[in-house]
Amino acid sequence: MALASSTPYLPRMAYFPRPAKPKALLADLKGMLAANRRHKLVFGAMAIGMTSLIITGFILEARNGVMPGASTIYAADWSENRTDAEIVKQQKIDQKEVNAAKAERRRQFQKVDDAMTRWGF
């Protein structure tokens, strides 16, 4: 059916070009290398090099892994029958610790900001 007709019987397949023969590909490569266009060779080598670098990076990442190791998570053990007042009291203590950590972090960022302001940033 496909051999009898010169037009494609699947219209969507008409968008894809026919595959080139290896002999034609080698002739094109020979013609490109025969011309003295060094910039094409330089950019071609850079394209191959960058692609190789990216693929090598993926291979090394897959081989070594970047997942973090096991970590221990500690949970507080509270009694079942504690009162709401005890809960609120503990929350206030915890909130003071959180506020102190935020203030320290803010102080560190302010120190960096002051240094950058001195340098003109």
Give the model confidence (pLDDT) of 35-46 as tens digits.
Answer: 777 788 889 899
Rounded Cα distance between 76 and 97, Å, is 16
Express each pLDDT in 34-93 by its tens digit: 877 778 888 989 999 999 999 999 998 888 776 777 889 898 888 889 999 999 999 999
Q: How confident is the model at residue 11 (pLDDT cuts 50, 70, 90)?
A: low
Q: Answer yes or no: are the C-beta atoms of 6 and 14 closer than 8 Å.
A: no
Rounded Cα distance between 121 and 55, Å, is 38
Would you give the end-to-end CA distance of the chain in angstroms? 73
For 72-93, the three-class secondary structure string (H helix, E strand, C coil) is CCCCCCCCCCCCHHHHHHHHHH
pTM: 0.39
